[in-house]
Structure 1
Amino acid sequence: MLAQILPGFRDFKTPLITGYLWLVIIWVGFGMPIPSKAENTGAMGMINWLTGYTSSATILAVLSFTAYVIGILLIVDVKIATRLVSRFGFTFQRQLNENGKKKWVRLPHRDNMSYRRSLANESGSTLLKLLWEAFTRVEEKNVPWSTIHKGYHLPEIDEAEYEELRQEAAGDRAEVDRQIRKNALRTLSPTLSREMDNEIPVLATKLQEKNKDLFDSYDRDRSEAEFRLSIAPPIAVLSAQLFLLGIAGNGILGSLFAATGLAMSIVLLRKGWLKVLDSTSVVVTALEIGTVTSHVIERLEGLEGKRPSVVIPPAITV
């Protein structure tokens, strides 16, 4: 029973608390007014009018609903954060350091040559390893380069260009075909890598059907990441407001509150980012062990290779 309630509570918690924080910011921005019982005009008069017809619990419910709607509009989209994590150079696995402790390892940027060389190395990301392994299987199947060019809309090679390449390879047609295929796969690598990055949220949805335990782990990490990343910005804004109020009043106290709030928001952003890494790691691990399959990999493996020619022996005459 509790396990069924918790996922719904996690989804409800983040927008509600985020909305309340933004309502506090609005309240502070308007000078923290407290409605007077004698006020009968404006927003404060409307509040007094409502209290005459409704209970405090009803007003709290309306306020909570308002906060919830504001929170839904302003929470951080974890899917975007997941794509940023996968695109800008972090691995999806924690690696052991010299002390035997796990830590996150950052890779060079995609445009860096050392990053490209890491495709087949153990330091490369799991997604790129899987893509590289799929390329290897394409080559082992001896898939014609024309099939790759046609299937992925790459520029065609005319006969004159092909003959020039064949002359450079000393007439070895098989070597020319192999080099063209390798160049085609190298050209496709950045595009297919981005497609796999964008596929992570879709794979997480598939994981819900394939493996409930892994999906629950992903969902917990995703919910915590969403909560931490969503409340960090309003805490930072509230800290700036307290700093400005401190300048007008007690500068030391205002500066202290502002510094504390900014430090909290930075820590929350960092912890939220790490939770995004954790949730992404769950999905990539499921992809690596075969629990879910990537459409990008399936499409590559669906390319038909050349069939070996069968030599029919001559008929035996009696």
Structure 2
Amino acid sequence: MQILASALPGFRDLRAPLIAGYLWLLCLWTLVKPNIAVRPANDIAASIYDLAVATGPIWIGLAVSVGAYLVGSVSQILSPVVRLVTRRTVNRAARLLGGALYALYAAAQLGWARVRHGIRQRSVSAIGKLTIATDFQPSLAAKALSLRLIPPPPKWSDNPALTRHRFAADEKLRKLEKSAPAGWVSEHNIEELRNELSDRYQRAADQLRDEMSLPATLLVGENPALFSEADRLKAEGELRLALVPPIAAITVLLSISHTPIWLCLFVALIIIAAQGLDREHKFQTLMDGALRQGQIIAQSIEEFKSWVDTIPAE
């Protein structure tokens, strides 16, 4: 797989829909349970059966692979739902776990305080002056209750290159308010320019987010080392998220037809989906770092910079 990925750029992008499609076909096979030794009675199914017999196993495998790729490509529309459900489920479980651990910590602190109070009570005569000092650390409680195992995606609107051009445009507009070229103010409205600046800045941030979700071959194709790592992280994240829906369907089908014990596989599915989100976060962090260091050029930032350059300096 690594050799193919190196020889054929973007090969990893085929894995997610292809494997997901195979799993969907496996789910369909488990549900229908066809008898391939008997020719179907349905005319359409019978013609497909005759075609498969006439072409042979090689063409059957090719047709199944093409069908699996198409089915898997369609099923990838469920990936955003998997992202949302996994992020909420894992982070909520993390907060519950953090709260439970902090409750145990607070109980241990309180128990130790009572033990110290009992020891001092036997050795100090002025019991009324005895105070109990317990440190429950509210900041630690806040961290425990806001624990996140899956961090949110980076905010592309905070990109230094984008914000730098935004600050440059703001500075130009401030200078124009004080001393604008003759005739320029009559053709332009400073307040309208500020509104246009905000709109273009937000549009550039949205375009930058979409641009960073493009295949790694389009982003860092001229940097082999960066391309290889970015392509690997992006493909692994997409693969894990694409596997969740078909495996979930197979799990439900097996739990209904056999035993509910199969539902335990949902724990593994959550782990797989969480790993996929982790790979995606690493990919986005890698892209953000490469963008900050100038290793890749974003068209959205260049277009925003070109518009900022059209504003007179003074």
Q: Does 1:282 align with 2:275?
A: no
* 1:10 corresponding residue in structure 2: 12
Alpha-carbon distance in 2 for matches of 1:61, 1:16: 12
1:298 paired residue among 292, 295, 302: 302
Alpha-carbon distance in 1 for matches of 2:168, 2:252: 56
* 2:274 corresponding residue in structure 1: 270
Give yes or no for contact 2:20–2:68 (8 Å, CA) kept in 1: yes
**Per-residue deviation, residues 76-99 of structure 1 (Å, max 9, x unmatched):** 598x79x99xxxxxxxxxxxxx9x
Once the two structures are overlaid, the 10-residue window that deviates more, 39-48 or 297-306, is 39-48
**Per-residue deviation, residues 113-151 of structure 1 (Å, max 9, x unmatched):** xxxxxxxxxxx84641423322223344556479xxxxx
Alpha-carbon distance in 1 for matches of 2:50, 2:261: 39
Q: Does 1:218 align with 2:234?
A: no
Alpha-carbon distance in 2 for matches of 1:137, 1:54: 66
**Mapping of residues 38-77 of structure 1, within 5 Å:** 39=39, 41-42=41-42, 49=50, 53=54, 55-76=56-77
Unaligned segments of structure 2, at least 5 residues:
85-142, 144-148, 179-187
Alpha-carbon distance in 1 for matches of 2:62, 2:273: 30
Quick one: percent identity of the two aligned structures?
24
* 1:93 corresponding residue in structure 2: none
Give yes or no for contact 1:232–1:268 (8 Å, CA) kept in 2: yes
SS at match of 1:75: helix
**Per-residue deviation, residues 211-260 of structure 1 (Å, max 9, x unmatched):** 222122111111111211111100011111112113xxxxxxx2111221
Give yes or no for contact 1:20–1:67 (8 Å, CA) kept in 2: yes
SS at match of 2:251: helix
Normalized per residue, the structure richer in helix is: 2
* 1:29 corresponding residue in structure 2: 31
Tell me how many residue pairs correspond in the alignment: 235
RMSD (Å), alpha carbons: 4.2
* 1:89 corresponding residue in structure 2: none
When normalised by structure 2's length, the TM-score is 0.58
* 1:258 corresponding residue in structure 2: 263
CA drift at 1:290: 1.0
* 2:166 corresponding residue in structure 1: 135
**Mapping of residues 116-135 of structure 1, within 5 Å:** 125=155, 127-130=157-160, 131-135=162-166
CA drift at 1:49: 4.9
CA separation of 1:197/1:141 partners in 2, compared to 1, >3 Å: closer, same or farther? same
Alpha-carbon distance in 1 for matches of 2:159, 2:254: 49
When normalised by structure 1's length, the TM-score is 0.58
**Mapping of residues 76-155 of structure 1, within 5 Å:** 76=77, 105-106=151-152, 125=155, 127-130=157-160, 131-141=162-172, 144=176
Give yes or no for contact 2:9–2:217 (8 Å, CA) kept in 1: no
